[in-house]
Amino acid sequence: MFKRIFKYVLMFSFLLALQIAVAPLLAFSDVHPDFMLLGVILAAMRHGAVPAILTGFLAGLVQDVAVSELYGLQALSKAVAGFVAGYFARDKVKFELQVVIGLAFATAFAHNVIRDTVFYFDVGFNFFYVLARYVLPNSIYTVVFVAIIQMLWPEALRRKASVD
Amino acid sequence: MLERPNDFLVSSREYFVLFAAIVAALAILFNNDAPQLDAIRGYAVDRYAAFHVLADWKTWRDYQPEEVSALRQRTTQLLLENSQLREAYLENVRLRRQLEYRERAQLELRAARVLFKESNSTPNTVVIDLGASAEVKANMPVVTPEGLAGKIIKVNQHTSHVQLLLDRDFSVSARIQRSRVLGIVTWMSAQDFEMTGVARHADVTAGDVVVTSDSSALFPPGIRIGLVLKPTVEPTGMFRKIPLMPAANFARLEEVFVVMTANRNLRSNIAPNAGKGE
């Protein structure tokens, strides 16, 4: 149990470093991948919804403190993302690439709808503009990285037995 | 059918955990003081106000709201004009003596309903059903037929927040209408107001009418604020203690009027954030 927690702390520390140092380099016109979300999706696929919600909430809080302007926004969106990913990943042990992409897209979409709608609320953008300009591109960009992980390291996204 | 209540909790634990996480995250999120959250709060107040009006339909069922609103608006306009005419008369006498004349601003009013009082708010504010869509702007004065009620401090799309005269941070430049003595009206406690900064030998007596002064950056001159109760002088003080009874009845604040006309004498010449605290 503690060993697993320690592994997740290490993994999210690495992902946070990527988020701070690498994500801005990969960004184009305000669209960038969310590496912390990759960790939440991974937690959901390996351990189910409850660990994913808790992991998403805590990882989001850390991300809020480290990089966000609105404390609580990443925690909220990543907790919901953890639930969505865990919900779609339940009862599955092995994941095909198409399933992983669909699951990751649904998760990233739910995450980005919450985050970007709140973040751009004061600007007065139309909801559908936010959807087309930020939510969908950010979701697709994050899904690309999930697909890469699935292709290079399929074991990472496999359900651990007898957990959750 | 689940055999034990505990089974329900176990099978639904992901929903409970999600709910707890959302509540915790929202609690953290709404402790931020960011413009996004201000916009969300404003949006929520607008939606709540719309619901509030719908829920209160019985009050509006039996009469013609437009007609009543128009009559109230006209009454308030006449009362304010009356107050201003008296002010104008006294001013005219004074100005004639000095062979000067200055044009008085005509007030344009817009009727608004008080939707609710923000009970836990500081400053002391109420929400009215006029907002940016009705061209309401921050710092516009708000009056009742009896007199000054406050000013607009925040504007949403369909609602606005009015800082009442009852607020400790609200102060307004004022004059004794009869003797033209100048001072500052501020809230002291409960329904008690005071006119401060008036010298101990100034000509002030009980029953004197206090109106907004022409040196105010936000409020048109001549709007009634209240009546002097019983002025006293502290034995060692330099100033008079002048308690006031407010003209507006804040206990029954249901309909107010936003003064849409700018104070032509002063407002166009000041910076947008001037007059804070007045």
ipTM of the shown complex: 0.87
Tell me: pLDDT of B105 over 60.
Answer: no
Q: Please tell me the distance in Å from B158's CA to the nearest CA on chain A.
A: 15
What is the predicted pLDDT for the residue at B150? 92
* Beta-carbon contacts of residue A20 (< 8 Å; ≥ 6 apart): A66, A67
Q: Does residue B265 lie in a domain region?
A: no
Residue with tokens 């009206």: B185
Inspect the interface and report whether the beta carbons of B13 and A121 lie closer than 8 Å: no
Q: Does residue B243 lie in a domain region?
A: yes
Other residues' Cβ atoms within 10 Å of the Cβ of residue B209: 18
| Distance from C-alpha of A39 to C-alpha of A96, rounded to nearest angstrom | 19
* Beta-carbon contacts of residue B263 (< 8 Å; ≥ 6 apart): B105, B216, B217, B218, B219, B220
Q: Does residue B20 lie in a domain region?
A: yes
Residue predicted with more confidence, B50 or A40: A40
Specify whether the CB–CB gap between B146 and B224 falls below 8 A.
yes
Q: Does residue B156 lie in a domain region?
A: no
Q: Name chain A contacts of B28, Cβ cutoff 8 Å.
A: 61, 64, 71-72, 75
Q: Average pLDDT in the B162-190 region?
A: 86
List the domain range (segments joined by +) for residue B30.
Answer: 14-59
DSSP 3-state of B152: strand
CATH code of the domain occupying A2-157 = 1.10.1760.20
Q: Name chain A contacts of B18, Cβ cutoff 8 Å.
A: 49, 53, 79-80, 83
φ/ψ of residue B227, rounded to 5: -120, 145
Q: Does residue B166 lie in a domain region?
A: no
Of A7-16, A38-47, B15-24, B110-119, which range is least confident? Answer: B110-119
Q: Please tell me the distance in Å from A64's CA to the nearest CA on chain B.
A: 10
Q: Average pLDDT in the A151-158 region?
A: 74
Q: Does residue B222 lie in a domain region?
A: yes
In single-letter form, the type of residue at position A112 comes to N
Tell me: pLDDT of B22 over 80.
Answer: yes
Specify whether the CB–CB gap between B181 and B203 falls below 8 A.
yes
Q: Is B205 on the interface with A (CB under 8 A)?
A: no
User: Percent of chain A having pLDDT more than 90?
Assistant: 41
Give the model's confidence band at A56: pLDDT under 50 very low, under 70 low, under 90 confident, else very high.
very high
Sequence length of chain B is: 278
Domain locations in chain A as residue ranges: 2-157
Residue predicted with more confidence, A69 or A75: A75
Of B21, B34, B37, the CB nearest to A57: B21
Q: Is B10 on the interface with A (CB under 8 A)?
A: no
CATH number at residue B230: 2.40.10.350
> How many domains does chain B contain in total?
2
Give the model's confidence band at A84: pLDDT under 50 very low, under 70 low, under 90 confident, else very high.
very high
What is the predicted pLDDT for the residue at A159? 65
Report chain A residues touching chain B, CB-CB < 8 A. Answer: 48-50, 53-54, 56-57, 60-61, 64, 69-73, 75-76, 79-80, 83, 86-87, 118-122
pLDDT tens-digit readout, B30-62: 888 788 888 888 888 888 877 776 666 666 566
Here the tokens at position B71 are 């009559």
Name the residue of chain A whose CA is nearest to B11's CA.
A164
Q: Does residue B229 lie in a domain region?
A: yes
Is there a cis peptide before residue A137, judged by omega within 30 degrees of 0?
A: no
Q: Does residue B143 lie in a domain region?
A: no
Inspect the interface and report whether the beta carbons of A61 and B28 lie closer than 8 Å: yes
* Domain stops at, among B59, B88, B113: B59
When the pLDDT of each residue in chain B is averaged and rounded to a whole number, the result is 78
| Distance from C-alpha of B135 to C-alpha of B112, rounded to nearest angstrom | 13
In single-letter form, the type of residue at position B161 comes to H
Q: Name chain B contacts of A83, Cβ cutoff 8 Å.
A: 14, 18
- CA A34 distance to own-chain centroid: 6
| Distance from C-alpha of B276 to C-alpha of B278, rounded to nearest angstrom | 5
What is the predicted pLDDT for the residue at B94? 63
What is the predicted pLDDT for the residue at A144? 92
Q: Average pLDDT in the A97-126 region?
A: 89
Inspect the interface and report whether the beta carbons of B43 and A121 lie closer than 8 Å: yes
